[in-house]
Amino acid sequence: MSAAMTMPATGSVRVPLGERGYDVRIAPGLLDRAGEELAGLLPSDRLVIVTDQTMAATPHLPRLEASLAESGLKTRTVTVPAGEASKSFGVFAQLCEAVLEPGIDRKTTILALGGGVVGDLAGFAAAALLRGLPFVQVPTTLLAQVDSSVGGKTGINAQAGKNLVGAFHQPRRVLIDPTTLDTLPLRELQAGYAEVAKYGLIRDAGFFAWLEEHGQGVIGGDQAARAFAIERSCAIKAEIVGDDEFETKGGRALLNFGHTFAHAYENLTGYGNRLLHGEAVGIGMVQATELSVRAGHLPAETTDRVRRHLRELGLKTAPGEVTNQGFAADAMLTAMRRDKKASQGRITFVLLQRLGQAFTSDQVDAAVLQDLLERPV
């Protein structure tokens, strides 16, 4: 792909999972055509929309409800509080009880309208209620549009850690309207952008070069650039999920580039507003690139290139930007060993072989890692 060109988006990506396969549709204004998209696809005309209180106060919910009603679909809307705290047993139970009103049957579709919190929570309810209800994702944050709405991971958090209770439950369709991002706070947009850059770094150097040229447009509201960046991200995720749906073959683990560091930063900052997931991923990707450099896989200038790009788009790139003292190396190591991706105390990293090609390794030299944690870039 030429870095200079914005390729026209085709508007559709197939997630190739046989009888569980589905289309991800991406188009500005799609929210107003949601009824047409779904009317012939779903097993009945009944849907329960699950959204959060912030989304319920935007124009997006009435737009969606109006479009579904125009196509003869009957909806009921259940609203949960906004924020990560809603991925809890308590809110999950309330949501299930609210959905289980008279009239619900196994053909009733659960539709998630919102960010990754609503998508994960509503998707898990869809997986569990009546042993599995049809599910549709309408993601409205950049993170949800390029990552959490595609691939079927659903779930909630436990005392023991994030996302530890869940199920794989693929949606029947994903409807992405990039214009919904117009109301998303800049900080959330920037955090989601880290996952967009991740796809270029792990799979497509040409896409990363394109982002270096057009990333400002993606953040700034250029609808064509946004649609293209979302579509390319979804296409890469669809390909990876298609090859390794249940994360048993190794391919899907590549999506965790930067995440071994990121999960530790999030753990040490309490998974709160102080450091958003995507912000942690941005810093983590710079550190993982540098780890690849120090392990001898990459030329040193690659770290500069990754860091420069993320910085230009307003992302944090160093742990010292989160806390003045950074994070103590021993606390980082303890948090990394606790991560659910660690196995028998061995920490797994996704490293870069070159820009656009990633691999996993649990053989990182302990001294190299220790040095990077003590002197992060």
- Catalytic residue annotation: 131, 153, 195, 237, 247, 252, 256, 259, 263, 277
10 Å Cβ neighbour count for 93? 11
| 118 touches ligand GLY by CB under 6 A | no
Give the footprint of ligand NAD on residues 79-98 (CB under 6 A): 82-84, 87
Give the footprint of ligand NAD on residues 202-241 (CB under 6 A): none
| 266 touches ligand GLY by CB under 6 A | no
Q: Which does 115 bind (CB under 5 to 8 A by kind): ligand NAD, ligand GLY, none?
A: ligand NAD
Choose which of 73, 255, 298, 336 interacts with ligand GLY (CB under 6 A): 255
Q: Do residues 35 and 63 touch, judged by C-beta distance below 8 A? A: no
Cα 249 from Cα 320, distance rounded (Å): 35
Q: Which does 252 bind (CB under 5 to 8 A by kind): ligand GLY, ligand NAD, none?
A: ligand GLY
Alpha helices in 71-135 (DSSP H): 89-99, 116-128
| 87 touches ligand GLY by CB under 6 A | no
Question: To 5 degrees, how large is the angle CA 171–CA 175–CA 179?
Answer: 150
Cα 115 from Cα 225, distance rounded (Å): 20
Give the footprint of ligand NAD on residues 250-279 (CB under 6 A): 277
Question: To 5 degrees, how large is the angle CA 51–CA 75–CA 173?
Answer: 70
Shortest distance, position 180 Cβ to ligand NAD, whole Å: 4
| 145 touches ligand NAD by CB under 6 A | no
Q: Do residues 255 and 240 touch, judged by C-beta distance below 8 A? A: yes
| 252 touches ligand GLY by CB under 6 A | yes
| 120 touches ligand NAD by CB under 6 A | yes
Only segment of 35-43, 182-190, 200-208, 212-220 that touches ligand NAD (CB under 6 A):
182-190
What tokens were used for 344?
A: 């028998």
Cα 16 from Cα 270, distance rounded (Å): 36
Question: To 5 degrees, how large is the angle CA 194–CA 251–CA 18?
Answer: 105
Shortest distance, position 108 Cβ to ligand GLY, whole Å: 26
Cα dihedral 197, 201, 204, 205, rounded to 10, equals: 100
Shortest distance, position 334 Cβ to ligand NAD, whole Å: 21
Strands, E assignment, the chain: 12-15, 22-26, 46-52, 74-80, 109-114, 135-139, 153-158, 161-168, 173-176, 349-354, 357-361
Q: Which does 45 bind (CB under 5 to 8 A by kind): ligand NAD, ligand GLY, none?
A: none
| Residue number with CB closer to ligand GLY (63 or 153) | 153
State the binding string over 119-148 for ligand GLY (x if CB under 6 A, else -). ----------------------------x-
Phi, psi (deg, nearest 5) at residue 257:
-55, 130
| 55 touches ligand NAD by CB under 6 A | yes
| 153 touches ligand NAD by CB under 6 A | yes
Shortest distance, position 68 Cβ to ligand GLY, whole Å: 27
Place of tokens 């947009």: 189
Count of residues of this chain found to bind ligand NAD when the rule CB under 6 A is applied: 29
Q: Which does 84 bind (CB under 5 to 8 A by kind): ligand NAD, ligand GLY, none?
A: ligand NAD
Number of residues written out for the chain: 377
Side-chain-facing half-sphere of 116: CA atoms under 13 Å: 25
Q: Which chain residues interact with ligand GLY by CB under 6 A? A: 147, 151, 153, 252, 255
Q: Which chain residues interact with ligand NAD by CB under 6 A? A: 52, 54-55, 58, 82-84, 87, 114-118, 120, 140-141, 143-144, 147-148, 151, 153, 162-163, 180, 183-184, 188, 277
